[in-house]
Structure 1
């Protein structure tokens, strides 16, 4: 009888242990040993499309690189029609829109005159609608919502000056371009994400080589736009990014804002911190740091994992990386 009771207690204990919820914090980033590797580049866009990673653009003319997590293989596609960098890629249907792109060398890069679109299934680029001359800029944040691409911030004169607080929306079907109320802060070199009915513009800086302030004027305040109210929230109602950086990557995961990567005047090495904001609780938490800090790339969720690849390992233009990292997300 005692033996039966002991067995029952052991079984109950085992059952309770198995029923415990998984750790909410991911364990660690893994360096993925892939077959092939992405082209070394930075100031590029990493975009998730139909279960694969698409790495587009960057300094110089580069091919599109595609990673399939199921086969663990990187493959090379066609080159961009010209040098394209400092943009955030936005998926619309079967295409990827390269929004807020610039071309040309540092420090006086030129914003594009037209929207560039990549068609993954055809491995083809198109120049589509013209961008109003007075609203052309690069290094802006972009998101897609309800048939419109929203573009916030950016810089008009490469790295020299011209940081803006502009906020526009663009209809990818018709080419209609509408000017919306400016954001509370000027910023460039950042990314944006949408959670529910709100847009979050996180990170970035006011770049001004003219004032010898390329890296130093980073922005802590996150600007939040409420689509239902049709207004930007007052700064006092918006969160502050714990670690200021520009050239950072932003993604929304399970209703939370994830900010990783980046560069700043505070350190030579690119940032490896990953910080997560929960709008429901207004609290920040820290996820594991990447194995290698990087900037000028992106974060993409595919399946149960968060991926990043390529980018620059230090502040500025190098070293350009060819590594791929993966963080398994909690269920």
Structure 2
């Protein structure tokens, strides 16, 4: 398959890029101000350092405010909403990169948008039910069934989740119009949520959590202003501001962690037709790699996922 567009690279000798992985971007929009996102997925090929179009659009048409998680090298897309008023979804679709196909999975109990998802201990968790007035509900998928699980302690939306040390962390977000600093975690052993006494250093919403080794990183944020710092929480519960900062030119960032790097995608501020993938090497203030997004990629409400193995490629 030919490249989806030109790219530029600035790579440092210490880049930890692993050519056996690909980054998938789900939910691209042609217009940055569009209410809905959809169309073909895009895949960043680590070996060729190029974006490629995956000619398998998400079933069910365009959607936004959905959740993405990876389950045994497949991508799960949960819930979301369409451009039609009150058209909130409870559908679940699974993408297999080997067969390059989507399959429908059993729908969730409730329609959800603005949710987060996580996979741990052979279970998929759908966290939050925004159509029930920013609730704190949780559903879990296990052995072919969705069942209710313990709700979060704090109500929030536009928050971030991550799996670390066999626990699901939920941090930040918005409630009653206020950005939050609180962090809580769910233990599949006790089936309960616990609020951490130590909050994040600053309020964050519309951001990402990335886990590398024994550290969890809060990346970006776009509440009242763009947050450039990347804060890390060590396993002993202490937060610190990392040496790496996201360029102030990037807004609405999404990110994933791979090996010792954080991959950040966002819009170049002030240029609605331009976006970048930045690979940030932790512990080094320099950017390991910069790749411009192809012009046909219009990043708006997208989600990222990392998969191993080379996917099927149509001729």
CA offsets per residue over residues 87-145 of structure 1, 9 Å max, x none? 3321112420013432226xx5633131122222233222221221xx32111221111
The answer to whether the aligner puts 1:117 opposite 2:94 as a matched pair is yes
CA drift of 1:243 comes to 2.4
1:17 corresponds to: none
Deviations 1:160-193 (A, max 9, x none): xx2111122113xx43112112111111222211
**1:1-331 equivalent positions in 2, closer than 5 A:** 36=6, 51-58=21-28, 59-78=36-55, 79-81=57-59, 82-104=61-83, 108=85, 110-132=87-109, 135-156=110-131, 162-171=133-142, 174-206=143-175, 216-233=177-194, 235=195, 237-265=196-224, 267=225, 270-291=226-247, 292-295=249-252, 297-310=253-266, 313=269, 319=272, 321-330=274-283
Partner of 1:25: none
Quote how far apart the aligned CAs of 1:320 are: 6.5
Deviations 1:28-64 (A, max 9, x none): xxxxxx9636xxxxxxxxxx99611000015332320
CA distance in 1, matches of 2:264, 2:66: 16
Contact 1:57 1:85 in 2 (8 A): yes
Q: Contact conserved, 1:139 with 1:155, CA < 8 A, in 2?
A: yes
Structure 1 counterpart SS, 2:62: coil
* Separation in 2, partners of 1:139, 1:320: 25
Moved over 3 A (4+): 34-37, 310-314, 318-321
**CA spacing shift, 1:311–1:128, aligned 2, 3 Å:** farther
Higher helix proportion: 1
Change in Cα spacing, 1:80 to 1:191, as seen in structure 2 (3 Å) is same
- Structure 2 counterpart of 1:12: none
The number of equivalent residue pairs is 261
Give the equivalent residue in structure 2 for 1:11: none
Residue aligning to 2:306: none
CA distance in 1, matches of 2:268, 2:155: 24
Alpha-carbon distance between aligned partners in 2 of 1:148 and 1:91, rounded to the nearest angstrom: 11
| Rounded Cα–Cα distance in structure 2 between residues aligned with 1:77 and 1:197 | 32
Which structure has more RCO (C-alpha within 8 Å, separation ≥ 6)? Answer: 2
Distance 1:122 1:191 in 2: 30
TM-score (norm 2): 0.73
State how far apart, in whole Å, the 1-side matches of 2:267 and 2:172 are: 17
Question: Which runs of 5 or more residues in structure 1 are unaligned?
Answer: 1-33, 38-47, 207-212
In structure 2, do the counterparts of structure 1 residues 264 and 83 end up closer, same or farther at CA, with 3 Å as the change threshold?
same
Counterparts of 1:50 and 1:178, CA distance in 2: 36
8 Å Cα contact 2:90-2:112 kept in structure 1: no
Q: Which has the higher strand share?
A: 2
Say which SS state the counterpart of residue 62 (structure 1) adopts.
coil
| TM-score relative to the length of structure 1 | 0.70
Measured in 1, the distance between the counterparts of 2:79 and 2:19 equals: 19
Distance, in Å, in 2 between the alignment partners of 1:110 and 1:137 is 10
Query: 1:21 aligns to what?
Result: none
Query: Any stretches of 5+ residues in structure 2 without a counterpart?
Result: 8-17, 29-35, 285-315
Computing the radius of gyration from Cα coordinates, the structure with the larger value is: 1
Distance 1:232 1:121, change over 3 A: same
| Counterparts in 2 of 1:50 and 1:126: CA distance versus 1, 3 Å | farther
| CA deviation vs aligned residue, 1:238-268 (integer Å, no higher than 9, x gap) | 4312221221111211122111122113x3x
* Distance change >3 Å, CA 259–CA 154, structure 1 → 2: farther
SS at match of 1:298: strand
